Amino acid sequence: MKNIFEIMKEYGLEVPEDKKKDFEKAVLENYKTQTDYDNQTKKLDAANETIKANDTAMKDLQTQLDGFKDVDVTGLNKRISDLEEEKKNIQKDYDSKIADRDFSDLVKESIAAAKGKNPKAIMALLDVNALKASKNQKEDIAVALKTLTEAEDSKMLFGEPEPNPVGTGNLIGQVHKTTGQSTDTLKDALKEKYK
């Protein structure tokens, strides 16, 4: 790239040496190079593109907002709070059912450990509400069951289960013929009786 003074010499113009600094200063203050101009043009084009993109985004946003202009905001807020309350109630109910199930399992296990014969009858004798509210459920259930095992009116509900009689007897008994022969079936016995 040629110096400004060389370009001027080619056209027959010369600046005296004592004025060159002032002339160069004045040129630099008032004129830009082609590169500076191109850089500024690129920045301006980029800024224009940004403005166009922002305009498009604003129009899209306005369109979306127009879709909500007839929406009842207080109604939506009320519905949201109702749904949140319903969710809390459902969670509370679920937690309550889980706690009831866990309590029931704990009582049944404790009754089995105390060798209870009839869990339903034993449960009826327990103060279930007090035991549910207890901080130490397991210990309090054990104490309540121990009290029942020692009480005269409830100790028969605890202990080893009575063995079921096992035998090979005839449920209706044996029928004997008058001649001393035994009949093997009910049919034979009925025939013999009604002859």
pLDDT at residue number 20: 84
pLDDT at residue number 5: 80
Structural domain total, the chain: 2
Please report whether residue 70 resides in a domain. no
Residue 68's SS3 state is: coil
Residue 87's SS3 state is: helix
Please report whether residue 78 resides in a domain. no
Alpha carbon distances (Å) from 178 to 170, 191, 194: 19, 13, 13
Contacts of 137 (CB under 8 A, 6+ apart): 103, 106, 131
Contacts of 118 (CB under 8 A, 6+ apart): 157
Q: Which of 115, 121, 103 is nearest to 159 (CA)?
A: 115
Please report whether residue 123 resides in a domain. yes
- For residue 23, the enclosing domain spans 4-62
Q: Which residue has the tokens 């907002």?
A: 65
pLDDT at residue number 169: 59
pLDDT at residue number 17: 86
pLDDT at residue number 173: 60
Please report whether residue 54 resides in a domain. yes
Please report whether residue 186 resides in a domain. no
Q: Which residue has the tokens 């009689």?
A: 165
pLDDT at residue number 1: 54
Q: Which regions in the chain score pLDDT beneath 50?
A: 183
pLDDT at residue number 10: 86
pLDDT at residue number 116: 85
Please report whether residue 184 resides in a domain. no
pTM comes to 0.45
Please report whether residue 147 resides in a domain. yes
